[in-house]
Structure 1
């Protein structure tokens, strides 16, 4: 058995200076943690190795004023003496100790994203005044027994693959599962949402808290709902930001991301068609979409190469175009630049030289749109739910997505995954979500979020009887700290307990101020924007910040 970067030791080993305290609450008995000892967290200065995309200086800045610690948890809660692993935890103490109302656990989503940097990310928000902000890297994630699946694929991903590639794509998925099984061994089947929720409750006890409060994003919303269902008497206030659909675990959730991206591209096309006099992309949405498809085909046949082939930036072919346009259409404030980008690529596909200004703009968007590398924990957690096993059903879905929902991952969102060939049987069923015994929480959802589509927030709020806050005409993912209205509502709830009224909405980021053709109310014709395209793109992306998954 190989577990990369994991600390898996005999359960009888006790760290020097650790203090063991029993757990006896009924909630823990129901959830499988009764009688399992906890160690108080021993806080110390942070000394975590930075990931490759941070410099040491940038990484160190993320831990200024932050404490680091570890707790030890069972690998298998049904057999707690069979082995343990360490979970890395971070803390930023409440800025106003006299007003402190407990701890707020934070999770960024994934599954597979580390949360150790989150306390620093929210230190300027209102929650930092009254809560100790607690980040943690979930089991199987870097700094907490990281799993890996070191299995390279042999097929270049294609957002619109021909049928001839289906068999090779399927074999890639088989090979990935074999590689994950070899790397994860017996530990892998215990890397699950329910077990991460149990780890959170051991963390609660180790922190000496009767209850926790919770703020989770994306997949972290499902994790929070599972925690509340397993430990209802241990959860106080909770916010689920950009919620997963609890009925879409996980194949449908993957497919719906391509559906959401395509909806955004269609909205962009409708907007651009109303401004054909400005952008010249077509007079109807259908014409604009045909323009996109024609350009995509030309780029697939003759990719555009950026000067000197910047490291990590692939030539812009049809698949990269689908990814970039699908991602850019998410951001309403970026629609002007996206329309300009299409015209720029059109000229480059015709043989125009790639100027330094064009190369900078293109590299910026391609880099921002790159597919996130999935750690081994992702391939483990997403297999906790059953996936279809009929390959012909996958192939039929791929054909549909190739035609109807081709943006971002496109047909690959409907393709077989490693979970199609799952090599383990999950030790338990998925948790039945319910809210019994903890206060009503908030679900925050953007209408045009392609990563966790709006329908998911509606269903999650309904299942938990939580209050839904809708962010209108917004494609962003993860709204707290980015949308002022959402931030104010969440702070009011988490800090003061104020629950928003039913039907509460917040406005999303505005669309560009470009008059529609024939708009008699428009002022004088717009002056051409002098600011370079790359600078304008960068300012929008900086305002949104990195996407949370």
Structure 2
């Protein structure tokens, strides 16, 4: 993904109030939901190019579950039917994260895997996103990304957050309060019932792990096997979850700068870790004063450099490629024209797969601090101690800080009472959802934990990923074998014997997968 798409996609991400007990609402077998549970699901071949080979349908759900006879909305879903109907064991409902991640394309990822043999894999664009209707659209610019903001930029970010939130409330303030994790979980249960299934199996990534845990708390009797990949912290939704990101980026930067110092003869960034940091800080300072325009229409400044540097520090197996790219900025040399053209073309083809306005609505389900002075103090601390990756972005005032909308219900208290242990996966150096969050989720739900050691990735159960992870998850989902706690070794750091060649097709996926505005595939 080229620089411009990063800015667009960064509108929001993972954030903090202690969860409270759930407000009683219509649940699994409530007669008030009979019309929704008994609706006919009309599957038809998907028409969008990126969904080719899948079936699509719309499911109607209440906008407000406390008023099932009121306004209705639609949730767009997709299906890859089980390849071996004789061995079919139900549906596997999926979510890519976000909040706000479009999920209808997910079933296509698992073609020719063991799970597609026995499950109908169901994708979903959560209410308010993607092909679901209505789609949240504030008709407003999202706040800017400042990694290490000056005091003036802190004030600018505050004004931008106020303006954005006012635009959102003016545009769709009547429906935004109903865009919550609990309501999305209730939508999942309507999908289950409409598909005539007694239970669901579930696979969720990042924010999707919280969604799955909320579903299990509301509908424990309806949940069978569950995989939660790269979990959010169960006690810190939402601001606390986001504030954990910057220190995790700093940990990756420490690893990367130490590696770069060991390869100074090739990279020339510095012979010690301290020198490498000084080189990067000097580059950031120069870009603040003299931004670049390598990518057409994009002002590449210090914030963009800090952001991309932190992102690229996560993937140790690609540190050689990342260093080749970053070197052009360090040396203040123009990027090759062919490379920038290819990156721009890839960005234009890219669908970020995220409804940013939905993300901001969902994270407002929690209470946010109201004192701007607290945000200012946090932003100053983060810009000094954790300037790379997301940097001070989440320490700044956010749109939810200024929300005037009533929250219709408290957050759901996460508990596991009535469904089997879920399988948890967490990366040791994941910067979107840090490793400690995975440990906490495993403890909260009393499920086994797969630790991916030495890896800064986010989302590990994917075709073409680590065999150790895939084998354990397949055995669990397909065969019902619940593993003990397990450690899988991630890919080793790059072996830098010679200077690597800059490659847009290899670099673009790293940018795409590390966008902090949404822990997503």
TM-score (norm: length of structure 1): 0.83
Aligned counterparts, 1:303-452, within 5 A: 303-306=291-294, 309-310=295-296, 314-348=298-332, 352-356=333-337, 359=340, 374-452=355-433
Going from structure 1 to structure 2, the CA distance change for 1:260 and 1:125 (only over 3 Å counts) comes to: same
Within the candidate set 230, 241, 244, 2:218 is matched to 230
1:319 positional shift: 1.0
| Alignment coverage as a number of residue pairs | 490
For the residue of structure 1 that corresponds to 2:139, the secondary structure is coil
**Secondary structure of 2:153's partner?**
helix
Please tell me whether the aligned partners of residues 312 and 511 of structure 2 are also in contact (alpha carbons under 8 angstroms): no
Which among 229, 246, 259 is matched to residue 234 of structure 2? 246
Distance 1:329 1:355 in 2: 22
Measure the CA separation in 1 of the matches of 2:323 and 2:123: 39
The answer to whether the aligner puts 1:488 opposite 2:466 as a matched pair is no
Instruction: Please say if 1:271 is aligned against 2:255.
Output: no
Whole-angstrom CA distance in 2 between matches of 1:195 and 1:539: 34
Provide the rounded CA distance (Å) in 2 between the counterparts of 1:409 and 1:137.
26
Equivalent residue number for residue 178 of structure 1: 166
Match of residue 495 from structure 2: 513
Task: Judge conservation of contact 2:244–2:434 (CA < 8 Å) in 1.
Answer: yes
Q: Does residue 548 of the first structure (1) align with residue 520 of the second (2)?
A: yes
Check the 8 A contact 1:364/1:534 in 2, yes or no.
no
Conserved? CA contact 2:317–2:491, under 8 Å = yes
Spell out, residue by residue over 1:461-481, the C-alpha distance to the aligned partner (whole angstroms, 9 max, x if none).
100001110000111111011
Give deviations 1:128-177, integer Å, cap 9, x for gaps: 00000011111111222211111225x75332111122222111111111
Partner Cα separation in structure 2 for residue 365 and residue 404 of structure 1: 34
Which residue of 192, 195, 214 maps to 1:204?
Answer: 192
1:147 corresponds in structure 2 to 136
Residue 343 of structure 1 deviates from its aligned partner by 2.8
Question: How is 1:18-29 mapped onto 2 (pairs within 5 angstroms)?
Answer: none
> Structure 1 residues 362 and 29, CA, compared in 2 at 3 Å: closer, same or farther?
closer
Cα deviation code 1:258-304 (max 9, x no counterpart) = 22222211210011122333323223222211111011111221123
Q: Secondary structure at the match of 1:186?
A: coil
Contact 2:308 2:511 in 1 (8 A): no
Alignment counterpart, residue 81 of structure 1, candidates 52, 57, 69: 69
Q: Is the 8 A contact 1:357 1:532 kept in 2?
A: no
Contact 2:130 2:355 in 1 (8 A): no
- Contact 2:92–2:201 at 8 Å: present in 1 too? yes
Paired residues of 1:361 and 1:537 also in contact (CA < 8 A): no
Q: Is the Cα contact below 8 Å between 1:40 and 1:208 reproduced in 2?
A: no
CA deviation profile, 1:426-453 (whole Å, cap 9, x unmatched): 1111111111111111010111111111
Post-superposition CA distance 1:15-71 (Å, at most 9, x none): xxxxxxxxxxxx9966795531223443332455x5xxxxxxx42xx321x211122
Q: Does 1:532 align with 2:501?
A: yes
Q: Distance in 2 between matches of 1:429 and 1:252?
A: 17
Residues 93-108 of structure 1 aligned to structure 2 (within 5 Å): 93-108=81-96
Indicate if the aligned counterparts of 1:105 and 1:214 stay in contact, CA closer than 8 A: yes
Determine the C-alpha separation between the residues in 2 that align with 1:278 and 1:237: 49
Q: Kindly tell me: are residues 372 and 126 of structure 1, through their superposed partners in 2, closer, same or farther at Cα, counting changes over 3 Å? A: closer
Q: Structure 1 residues 332 and 41 mapped into 2: Cα distance closer, same or farther (>3 Å)? A: farther
For the aligned residue pairs, the C-alpha RMSD in angstroms reads 2.8
Matches within 5 A, 1:434-473: 434-473=415-454
C-alpha change, 1:459 and 1:79, in structure 2 (3 Å) is same
What is the match of residue 54 of structure 1?
A: none
Q: Does 1:301 align with 2:295?
A: no
Greater length-normalized contact order (CA 8 Å, ≥ 6 residues apart): 2
Tell whether the 8 Å contact from 2:89 to 2:119 is kept in structure 1 after alignment: yes
Mapped partners of 2:341, 2:311: distance in 1:
17
Distance 1:369 1:160, change over 3 A: farther
Task: Give distance in 1, aligned partners of 2:305 and 2:514.
Answer: 22
Which segment drifts farther, 233-242 or 505-514? 505-514
Question: 2-side partners of 1:130 and 1:333: how far apart?
Answer: 33
The corresponding residue for 1:189 is: 177
What does residue 18 of structure 2 align with? Answer: none
How far did residue 124 of structure 1 move? 2.4
Instruction: Give me the whole-angstrom Cα distance separating, in 1, the residues matched to 2:255 and 2:511.
Output: 23
Instruction: Give TM-score, length-normalised by structure 2.
Output: 0.87
Q: What runs of 5+ residues in structure 1 fail to find an aligned partner?
A: 1-26, 51-57, 515-525
- Deviation, 1:253, is 1.7
Where does the alignment leave 5 or more consecutive residues of structure 2 unmatched?
A: 1-23
* 2:121 is aligned with 1:133: yes
